[in-house]
Structure 1
Amino acid sequence: MALLDPIERGQRGLETEAEVAGRTAHEPATLFEQSWRDFVFAEVWTRPGLPRRPRFLVAIASAVTCGLQDSQIDDFVRGALKTEALTLAELREAALHLAVYAGWGNGGTLDRAVTRVAEELGLPPAEVPAICPDPWDPDVRSQRGHDEFAKVMTFAPGPPATPYLEGINNFVFGEMWCRRGLDEPSRRWITLVGVCESGAEIPIRSHIHAAISSGNCQPAEMLEFCLQYGTHAGWPKASRIQSVVLEMIDKVAKGLPWHAK
């Protein structure tokens, strides 16, 4: 096995940072900054196991939910736009999706970052359809939510017997997941960051299982997700998520539901 050359690694890190952030990369001034260049950018972002589009989605959502500075969030948004990994309209949809799975405060943080970067780059406003532009039949929306839940989660939901469950059925699945401005696999990656940050056991396990069993996220990509997520959330959180990912890969392969013992 050939030795890794520190100079080559540092140069690769600067080049990757410039591409990912959509700006000139600067030589690190501290040991912490050097770790971004030499590990996060030089090694993690250059791994082939996860394409750039999902890496950007995971990084953007994680940067927001894990409290990175506005400038760092802006870097990922700018890089996604300049590399054409994501469009402005898709980023607007991403902010809405993140609001649902990480709270409207975090969704607003991303939405403001998208606005800042769009203005910086001189982009025209994105054309996105309104959430619900026309009158609707409540029963139709409820049925649409039930059907979309079953497709996304790969199991049928129970009746929405509480206000919380009504919100999931009617808005989360009846309106948001039905929007086609952001494809289903992309919504998966944002959702995974949101549920992983929540620490809530049932959403973590059910959404990881659904991501794999739906075919939206391949097992190898899910393992790469754990590494990408870990660079923002930290190794302890990512360690827990990796254990669930490994468990759910096995359950899906055996045709078992997420809650099987």
Structure 2
Amino acid sequence: MELLDPKERTECGQVVGKAVIGRELPTPASPIEASWRDFIFAEIWSRPGLDRRTRYLIAIASAAASNGPVDVLDDYIRGALSGSELSQIELREAALHLAVYTGWSRGIELDRAVTRVAQELDLPPCPFAPIRIEPWNPAERIQQGIDEFDAVMGFPGPPPVTPYFEAGIDNFVFGEMWKRAGLDQRSRRWVTLVGVSESCATTPIKTHFYAAMASGNCEPEELQEFVLQYAVHAGWPKASVIQGAVLAMIKNFKAGLAWDA
């Protein structure tokens, strides 16, 4: 077997890393700094299992959700904007979407990071669609949310029997947010998967990973790659829980079984 050259790995990490974060990588001053170049960029971001746009969505959502160093989050956003993988409005929509699944505090962190990097890159403010501009019938809005839940998740939406279901799930999450045009459904799916993974809540994790495949948004192999990309910020122990859920949902999906079979 031919041996791999560590110098070539470092060179690969330098090239990929520069493309990912939109700036030159500094010379590492510690083992963990070297691992960004020689492992995360050279061996994870260079893998063919996910397109670059998807890796950005997972990494940006994970970095924001983990409440880590702001410069790491800023680097991803700079790279995504500079490389035209994500637009400013898509990142703003991702922040709103992340807020639903990890809390508004984390969504604000992402939104503020977008503002910082947009100012750094001298980008003009981008207009955004109002949360809702037209008058609405409350009962119709609830039904729209239930219908959208069915379309996104693949099973009937919850009846509005509690404030959480009525004002939260039916009215806003699926009645408004999932229906917004600023971010496509596949992209919203990746942000959602980070959010439910961070929750460590068994039912949302299983239902959303199953729905990601049933909807046609994600392929089983892509979900396997998701776990590795997610592990960078979540850590391997938390990602191992998600790996188990992904394997179980893929097995059910391929066998034609429901998520809870």
**CA distance, structure 1, for counterparts of residue 62 and residue 126 of structure 2:** 23
1:1-261 alignment runs, 5 A limit: 1-166=1-166, 167-260=168-261
Q: Which secondary structure does the structure 2 equivalent of 1:257 belong to?
A: coil
The 8 Å contact of residues 14 and 27 in structure 1, kept in 2 or not, is answered as no
CA separation in 1, counterparts of 2:256 and 2:150? 16
Letter in 2 for 1:125: P
Distance 2:219 2:199 in 1: 23
Contact 1:92–1:114 (CA under 8 A) maintained in structure 2: yes
Amino acid at match of 2:139: D
Whether the aligned pair in 2 keeps the contact of 1:222 and 1:245 (CA below 8 Å) is yes
Instruction: Write the distance in 2 (CA, Å) between the matches of 1:158 and 1:86.
Output: 33
Task: Give the Cα separation in 2 of the matches to 1:160 and 1:2.
Answer: 61
TM-score by length of 2: 0.98
* Structure-2 separation of matches of 1:33 and 1:142: 49
Find the residue that maps to 1:140 and give its secondary structure: helix
**In structure 1, what is the Cα distance between the partners aligned to 2:75 and 2:127?**
23
C-alpha deviations, 1:71-118, integer Å up to 9, x for none?
110000010001111000100100000000010000000000000000
Question: Is 1:14–1:26's contact at 8 Å kept on the other side of the alignment?
Answer: no
Displacement after TM superposition at 1:158 (Å)? 3.0
For 1:4 and 1:193, the matched residues in 2 are separated by 33
**Partner Cα separation in structure 2 for residue 63 and residue 248 of structure 1:** 25
- Distance in 1 separating the partners of 2:148 and 2:181: 12
Question: % of aligned pairs identical?
Answer: 58
Question: Within 2, Cα distance between the matches of 1:95 and 1:158?
Answer: 25
Structure 1 alignment gaps of length 5 or more: none
Given that 2:158 and 2:170 are in contact with CA atoms closer than 8 Å, whether structure 1 keeps it comes out as no
Worse-matched range after superposition: 170-179 or 229-238: 229-238
Partner SS state of residue 4, structure 1: coil
Structure 2 unaligned segments of length 5 or more: list them. Answer: none
TM-score normalised to structure 1 length: 0.98
Q: Which amino acid aligns with 2:149?
A: F
- SS of 1:174's partner is coil
SS at match of 1:180: coil
For each residue in 1:129-155, what CA deviation from the matched residue of structure 2 results, as whole angstroms up to 9, or x when unmatched?
Answer: 111112111122111101100010011
- C-alpha separation between the residues in 1 aligned to 2:159 and 2:144? 13
